Chains A and B, each alone.
Chain A
Amino acid sequence: MVSPVAGMTTKALDWFSIAFDAPLARAVVFGVHIDGHLVVEVLLIAVILFQLSRKSYKPPKKPLSEKEIDDLCEEWVPESLTPSITDDMKAQPPALESAAGPHTIINGKEVLNFASANFLGLIGHEKIIDSCVGSVEKYGVGSCGPRGFYGTIDAHLDCENRIAKFLGTPDSILYSYGISTIFSVIPAFCKKGDIIVADEGVHWAVQNGLYLSRSTVVYYKHNDMTSLEKTLEKMTRGNKQAEKLRRYIVVEALYQNSGQIAPLDEIVRLKEKYRFRLIMDESNSFGVLGNSGRGLAEHFGVPIEKIDIITAGMGNALATDGGFCTGSVRVIDHQRLSSSGYVFSASLPPYLASAAIAAVDYLEANPTVLSSLRRNIASLVEGLSDIPGLTVASNPLSPIVLLKLKNSTGSQKRDLQLLNKIVERVLEEDSVYIVTTKRSNLDKCPLPVGIRMFVSAGHSESDLQNASDALKRVAASVLSELN
């Protein structure tokens, strides 16, 4: 079997070698000896060139025909615009029938109001209302235009000057709404590629500003300075590029979600060590902390120039609406053209600006209101210290008193249901109006929920006593039902 095949192969090989060593070997073209192998090589090169010149195989691309697009559009079914309504979505807040002062009227009954952030008790104050009335008669209600197009009324300029003078900063700028202040300021300064280190407990408006700025955002543990230091170290170590990038730390002076106060002296020390700029939101601490109400910087004895940008909403202590931002002249001038909430929106109604001026005047003239506020907070916290099942989780100096469940049920939803039951019964049985924390679906804050009470300088001792007694009784009964 093998030998005939071997025989045929040798015969074929012999034939090939004869063919190659044949007369061609004696051909001479242009003085070059043509050897047999040259023919093979030329053929090989020709084949290679032929293959290279052919286009690579691509499956044919057919765009969708009109009929196919029509079919796809027919088949496509969108989701409904909103998810179906569940029972807890149907809850309606009570409608007040009078001003939201320390005592207010709900459903015809007088109740103690611990749900309004009326820290200095300025709601219903005579002087403020008089200045507003004068303003409405002179300027009307709205300002009918953005700041760049005849919406700047001299009341706005006076207000900005007054606030800057009160705080001791070079300049300030007014915004027409409290929460739009911080989410316009952050994107005006932080652009793509910048580094921001923020506290994880900041409220939704700050989170929205951070998201809109498209910078790299890193969160550190809530109010934990060692975590902040570690994060700053990580972001700057070995990062030569960090020199050219803008770097910011974003904190709140008094956190809305937890009632904690940020340790400003530590933060300023870290900021100077690592060369970051500081953006601080003082909505809940302006007019509350510090010997004369000038905010967190006065409270800690830090010179105000060390904080680069301070923003605050005026809807809390100053009992008006809108917000402001203060800082150096460079910072403020930059915002007048590049802050979207300032440029593209109508300006603050002038009567609210006059209310702000009147409120700041009052605060400067009567710093004793701060000591009554502090007394009230202390006595309320003491009264709430022995409620069964609930603990006070906020800083003892904070006018936002946050009560957390001692033993959480495990899910935020059930915690909220329990707390809502307590709060409803307190309103019905004892006419004390307090509220739970509300979280939106879009809020990414990881802090626990609780009951919030806003203490005002206008509350009297008996009010606070009634509130803590009522809460004690209802909490005991609701939580014992649970066990």
Chain B
Amino acid sequence: MVRLPYTTALTTLFSYGLLFAFGQLRDLFRKLLDWFRSKDLKGYAPICLGLEDFYVRRLYLRIQDCFGRPIASAPDAWIDVVERYSNDNNKTLHRTSNSTKCLNLGSYNYLGFAAADEYCTPRVIESLKKYSPSTCSVRVDGGTTQLHAELEELVARFVGKPAAVLFGMGYVTNSAIIPCLIGKGGLLISDSLNHNSIVNGARGSGATVRVFQHNSPSHLEEVLREQIAEGQPRTHRPWKKIIVIVEGIYSMEGELCKLPEIIAVCKKYKAYTYLDEAHSIGAIGKSGRGVCELLGVDPADVDIMMGTFTKSFGSCGGYIAASKEIIQYLKYTCPAHLYATSMSPPAVQQVISAIKVILGEDGSNRGAQKLARIRENSNFFRSELQKMGFEVLGDNDSPVMPIMLYNPAKIPAFSRECLRQNVAVVTVAFPATPLLLARARICISAAHTREDMIKGLEVISKVGDLVGIKYFPTEPPKLAKEAHKKRESSIVAERFCGCDIIGV
């Protein structure tokens, strides 16, 4: 939950207003100049009409160099960021062959499996030579190898469910599974800050979708009661089924989901639960089993658990873990299982090796070390940032920490200054976040050493002073703790119209 001071809100609105005005002015001049130049569309309607891509053309292109920076190395703790230059004021960017080594605070590399690993990489290379980079077939038609069968069993055991099924991409997992489980006549209740893949899956299913306030079990209960009492829209027939979709860690907030309360509410009203653990599997919990382990929830209480292998396991793909009947049904009818190329075998081997390391089955205790290190690192980094006076979101133990920037001009300033001092950070603005709540997002990894983090903190502190984002000035430690408690207990989320993009 973000507390937005009034002065900051006003100045941010003013900046956006100014940018909008200048953009319109430029559009006017462009229209006047183009009057004389003929358009060669010949009767076809243009791809983007009028204001549809106004934001892209006039706001985003100015700061395009802060996004999509190419790298020339593995996404490890230190990366080589390729330098780019532009001849036409950032409209097009060209690569050079130079690169600078920077500290990587942006990649999702929670357990440090991104670069070559001493246990995983030899096995991956072996499987490459044995099975080839791809099977060229769908899972049901000769795309299932022994590796896939092994990984499905291993994932089911790791997560604590009877069975699991794999898919080659995390995004497709959500978009193709939700339509299989629910259709017209069903109700989907999703958190207001859910990821785009869940929104797409919900739209593609044809079911009615309702949204409840972010992470608020009481509002979820209200919505459930109202919907069950009313029934389907217009006909008022009772709903066929209700599924509640939540995420383990919300990637833009860094918050954990209030899982025990939400599960209690769902059980009371007989709704099914779907938990998307894209960021939390492998990264939190004592043995890395995700948000269920951390919050003490029995995996049998969650009906369907989904996760991805991109973040903590350094590979690609996604999985669904549920009861045997559900998995058998999904294997029979899910389009992503019947029509999509199966997951690449070396990627499967990488996940198998990574899970074995985490569970300690490779014969060493590297997994336990990595898990302890990421927890220490996240807590250390977060507390230091808060001590310096930044506004940091997220709960303890979560490796994702957004730092609020608010003002649109601070986004490129923060990003470019940090890069100049060899720290690579990620800044996020509209439309991934609400219009006024732009932020810089830090992802901590187990591969970061103490020295790396101290260097990162120094640079961020210097740049923070320069840019002016230390919204909570430094206080002595005891007072800071009380202020922190007060902040947590006052929940004020300011939303302005026009920024509810993630809502359905």
Contact = CB atoms under 8 A, between A and B. Distances in A.
B196 interface: yes
B372 to A, nearest CB: 21
A426 B349 CA distance: 31
Given A98-B131, A334-B48, A345 B137 contact: no
Contact of A345 (B74, B120, B197, B242): B197
A81 B272 contact: yes
B107 A150 contact: yes
Interface residues of A, number: 113
B132 A141 contact: no
B350 A83 contact: no
A380 B459 CA distance: 66
Contacts of B304: 81
B195 to A, nearest CB: 7
A34 interface: no
B79 A243 contact: no
Contacts of B43: 243, 275
Interface stretch (B121-129, B358-366, B390-398, B474-482): B121-129
A142 B335 contact: no
Interface in A94-143: 94-101, 104, 113, 115-118, 123-124, 128-129, 132-133, 136-143
A129 B68 contact: no
A101 B173 CA distance: 27
A180 B134 contact: no
A93 B335 contact: no
Interface stretch (B18-26, B145-153, B293-301, B485-493): B145-153
A177 interface: yes
Interface in B314-332: 314-316, 325-326, 328-332
Given A81-B181, A145-B75, A319-B133, A244 B107 contact: no
A178 B75 contact: no
B73 A139 contact: yes
B292 interface: no
A340 interface: yes
Interface stretch (A71-79, A219-227, A409-417, A459-467): A71-79
Interface residues of B, number: 121
A245 B43 CA distance: 11
Given A152-B69, A208-B335, A104 B132 contact: no
A154 B134 contact: no
A208 B426 contact: no
Interface string B210-253: 00000000000000111011000000001111110000000000
A204 B334 CA distance: 11
A442 B75 CA distance: 38
Interface string B30-54: 0000000000001111011100010
Nearest to B133: A355
B225 A73 contact: yes
B129 A97 contact: no
A123 B345 CA distance: 12
In terms of DSSP, what is the predominant structure of the interface of chain B? mixed
A90 B340 CA distance: 20
A247 B339 CA distance: 28
Contact of A142 (B72, B197, B225, B310): B310
Contacts of A331: 47
B140 interface: yes
Contacts of B149: 95
Interface string B404-441: 00000000000000000000101000000000000000
A150 B74 contact: no
B190 interface: no
A315 B345 CA distance: 13
B128 A132 contact: yes
A246 B129 contact: no
Contacts of A124: 132
Given A85-B329, A337-B60, A113 B132 contact: no
A93 B270 contact: no
A281 interface: no
Given A96-B142, A245-B45, A82 B325 contact: yes
B73 A177 contact: no
Interface string A47-73: 000000000000000001000110011
A76 B67 CA distance: 49
B241 A81 contact: yes
B136 A144 contact: no
Contacts of A255: none
A275 B44 contact: yes
Contacts of B141: 93, 115-116, 435, 438, 452
Given A73-B269, A136-B124, A438-B338, A82 B181 contact: yes
Interface string A385-401: 00000000000000000
Q: Which of B69, B339, B426 has the most CB of A within 10 A?
A: B339
A96 B144 contact: yes
A89 interface: yes
B161 to A, nearest CB: 14
A249 interface: no
Given A82-B325, A141-B347, A152-B70, A132 B133 contact: yes
Contacts of A418: none
B197 A150 contact: no
Interface stretch (B9-17, B109-117, B377-385, B462-470): B109-117
A243 B45 contact: yes
Contacts of B76: 140
Contacts of A141: 120, 124, 314-316, 346-347, 350
Given A85-B329, A211-B204, A78 B316 contact: no
A116 B137 contact: yes
A129 B75 contact: no
Contacts of A341: 171
Contact of A95 (B121, B144, B169): B144
A151 interface: yes
A96 B171 CA distance: 26
B282 interface: no
B168 interface: yes
A172 to B, nearest CB: 16
B338 A440 contact: yes
B133 A351 contact: yes
B228 A99 contact: no
A90 B328 contact: yes
A97 B140 contact: no
A246 B45 contact: yes
A188 B76 CA distance: 32
A336 B242 CA distance: 35
A72 B135 contact: no
Contacts of A113: 142
Nearest to B329: A82
A176 B145 contact: no
A399 to B, nearest CB: 12
6 contacts: A78-B239, A79-B240, A133-B129, A150-B69, A440-B338, A441-B333
Question: Which 8 pairs of residues, A with B, have the shortest CB-CB distance?
Answer: A315-B341, A115-B142, A177-B169, A82-B329, A345-B171, A116-B137, A344-B196, A346-B310
Given A132-B128, A145-B108, 20 more contacts: A78-B272, A81-B243, A85-B329, A95-B148, A100-B145, A116-B142, A133-B128, A136-B346, A144-B108, A148-B67, A149-B67, A151-B107, A153-B70, A179-B172, A243-B43, A321-B133, A321-B168, A351-B128, A440-B334, A440-B339
Interface of A: 64, 68-69, 72-73, 76-85, 88-90, 93-101, 104, 113, 115-118, 123-124, 128-129, 132-133, 136-145, 147-154, 156-157, 176-180, 183, 189, 203-205, 208, 211-212, 243-247, 256, 275, 277, 313, 315-316, 319-321, 330-331, 334, 336-338, 340-341, 343-346, 348-349, 351-352, 355, 433, 435, 438-443, 452, 454
Interface of B: 42-45, 47-49, 53, 56, 60, 67-76, 79, 81-82, 95, 104, 106-109, 113-117, 120-121, 124-125, 128-146, 148-149, 168-172, 175-176, 179-181, 195-197, 200, 203-204, 224-226, 228-229, 238-243, 269-272, 303-304, 308-311, 313-316, 325-326, 328-336, 338-341, 344, 346-347, 350, 424, 426
